[in-house]
A and B are shown apart, each in its own frame.
Chain A
Amino acid sequence: MGFFTRLRDRLGKAREAFAPLFAFGQSKRPLDEAFWYEFEEILLRADFGVATTEKILANLRIVATQELWTTTDQLMARFRRDVAAFLLVPEEPRAPRSAPEVVLVVGVNGSGKTTSIGKLAQRLRGEGKRVLLVAADTFRAAAAEQLAIWAQRSGAEFVRGREGADPASVVFDGVVAGKARAMDVVLIDTAGRLQNKRNLMEELKKMRRVIERELGRPPDETYLVLDATTGQNAISQARLFHEATALTGLILTKLDSTAKGGVVVGVVDTVEVPIRYVGLGESIEALEPFAPQAFLEALFAQE
């Protein structure tokens, strides 16, 4: 099964919400106020949020006037392009790095960090990479056990600290072990934290400093794991985590369950960090690399 088909099938729920937009694309409905109102509601219901929705619609109205468009079918291709443009973050080609590649994974409680790391480890192991999982969540009960199980399942190596230990010390052990054992990738799982907890964000900064000191460079990737069912708070999450740890990518989880997730458009627009992966299900391989264009096509494809 190709990526496109798989994505389309797994996006079942999300696609439902966009079915009316597909209908707009197929019909010659006039661009009257009733249409704009309906359009606005669809976006709001998909968690795009007031600001982003207004931004998208204002832009479309201008283009529609300029292009003398009169029906909805003319508009929808442009809409898709606009959203894709929102989601596409221009990136410099990355310089080759010396192993190990160190990936720090952060996010609020319950967003799916540990599970995402497990899936990521599986994916990397499938590519033949040597992977080390580091359980720097020393706060939540049995968090390390959870990661250990994922390490076992994916055939990755594993480093943990005592429960209640300073997470930065576990990060230190992890990076040292990653170098000593000649790992290709070191994935660091951190405790969930709400972004407005100052001391916990300081703790993240400390982990980052430890990595930088031991590695001679900042973490190669810092992923924020966002739950796709989250509403407008995702913007605050992205902004504050970005301030603390300089994110390089987003992982959007639980996208198979929701017809929403529109808030990521605002998130990417705010922090200008691309979505790297989307979680589309329970199974271990259900974490897909994200490409805006393909994603939107799958979202809008009706058959």
Chain B
Amino acid sequence: MFKIEEVSLDEIKLIGEFDASQAEIVTDFIERYEVTLTLDLEELSYISSMGLGILVKNYHRLNSMGYKVILKNLNEHIKDVFKYTRLDQLFVFDE
């Protein structure tokens, strides 16, 4: 079960399990934004490497326009995944 919701014009929320089967849905949703984008991951229970790749791709896309990607409310598993892939050095964390 996975859902993606718009919280405001510069914030979206990922909910549930973000696996490879959700790649197209998330890509289509996120690529509409051209702002400094906050991702609320409080209810994201799982992310795979495919999910990480989509977030990194959008980080580079927004960064090239002068914007940032801010992540907030990561659970322990998600934090570990970012740490092991050194992506904690790339994104801004709102803790």
> Are A and B part of the same complex?
no
Chain A residues in the interface with B (C-beta under 8 A)? none
